[in-house]
Structure 1
Amino acid sequence: MGKVILITGPASSGKSEWAETLAMQSEKAVIYVATATENPTDEEWHQRIQKHQKRRPQDWVTLCVPIELSATLADAKPNTCLLVDSLGTWVANTLEQDDANWENTLCELLETVQLVAADMLFVAEETGWGVVPAYPLGRKFRDRLGFLVRQLSIICDTVYLVTGGHVLNLSILGSPLPAPKS
């Protein structure tokens, strides 16, 4: 298994920039796994994507993977570093799955991560630090992403929290909880 790192935190806190820094430090060929899809009618979304693209070195390969994340990770070569940005967008892309299919998708991802020889960096948004969403789909998203982040953190070598433009190594500062029951 390659090195697995999770970078989590609130929106616009610097998560992606920290992940990009770690990817460059890996000195491996970097594959940027973008879970977002372009929406030609959403100019603001397009500008966000462009901002991320401009920061990345030209030699990084970009793969657009809105759904099939496990298959993409499984195909990775050992001498590469995959930067997955972001798990929140990936979870949003899979929200139409019923609970049983989601559970299978989640288990497949977690199993795949443990088998891949490449280094992997996962960027994930922290949700649920505020008001409980007033609508079912919002609660489903928050709960699925929170559970995924917690499960993934158990198998990560390092977990970082990026907030307020500062990076905290939770693997050093914190103590992991036992694995949650589904």
Structure 2
Amino acid sequence: MIEPLTPLSRLVLVTGPARSGKSEWAETLAQNSGQSVIYIATSRLDSTDTEWQNRIQKHQRRRPPEWKTLEVPVELAATLQQISQPNTCILVDSLGTWLANLLEQDDEGWQQILEGLITTLNQTSGQIIFVAEETGWGVVPAYPMGRLFRDRLGILTRNIGAIANPVYLVTAGYVLNLSQLGSPLN
């Protein structure tokens, strides 16, 4: 059953592994919100990577033509602050791609970016749906950059999950509402 977004669900987090259906679920929630939708694509188009272009095109074909699309690879907090308004649903796909675009930040710089995003989310008035990848369920990456990405993404999704309601896990094509099934950590 598809749960409509209500004023109580101002922030929504949809997380899950690759190819699980998380983007499709987030798109369904946005479509059923009854509001105008702004889709924020965090990826950077690489004209030399045809496989990546095909992935982007698949996402584009699924979206209704009336949705406005913004490409925001880095300035997510500032963009959300500018466009968030009542009666608008913003879908951000995805946090992992956004993080990858900022991975060169040192720990202090990344912490400031993260805190800025959380502050912005606490001040926005529209509904925002975030899509985030789950990367920490497997083997510890063999390289420092892989471990840094995995750890930062885990911290990022935990911070957003702490203020989002509902939080969904989509895996193997099934949607679980973690806000109903689980208990948040302090």
TM-score for both structures, normalised by structure 2: 0.94
**What secondary structure does 1:162 align onto?**
strand
Aligned to 2:128: 120
The structural deviation recorded for 1:79 is 1.6
| Unaligned ranges ≥5, structure 1 | none
The structural deviation recorded for 1:103 is 0.2
Moved over 2 A (4+): none
In structure 2, distance between residues paired with 1:128 and 1:59: 36
Percent of matched pairs sharing the same residue: 62
The structural deviation recorded for 1:78 is 1.7
Aligned to 1:130: 138
In structure 1, distance between residues paired with 2:56 and 2:122: 29
Does residue 146 (structure 1) correspond to residue 154 (structure 2)? The answer is yes
Does residue 83 (structure 1) correspond to residue 108 (structure 2)? The answer is no
**What secondary structure does 1:145 align onto?**
helix
One-letter amino acid of the structure 1 residue matched with residue 143 of structure 2: Y
In structure 2, distance between residues paired with 1:71 and 1:78: 17
Structure 1 residues 1-182: aligned runs within 5 Å: 3-75=10-82, 76-178=84-186
In structure 2, distance between residues paired with 1:53 and 1:45: 12
The structural deviation recorded for 1:129 is 0.4
The structural deviation recorded for 1:128 is 1.1
The structural deviation recorded for 1:157 is 1.6
In structure 2, distance between residues paired with 1:60 and 1:152: 24
**What secondary structure does 1:114 align onto?**
helix
After superposition, give the CA deviation of every residue in 1:36-61 in whole Å (9 maximum; x if it has no partner): 01100000000000000000000000
How many corresponding residue pairs? Answer: 178
Higher mean alpha-carbon deviation, 1-10 vs 102-111, is at 1-10
One-letter amino acid of the structure 2 residue matched with residue 9 of structure 1: G
**What secondary structure does 1:47 align onto?**
helix
In structure 2, distance between residues paired with 1:128 and 1:160: 17
One-letter amino acid of the structure 2 residue matched with residue 40 of structure 1: S
In structure 2, distance between residues paired with 1:154 and 1:23: 21
In structure 1, distance between residues paired with 2:85 and 2:137: 36
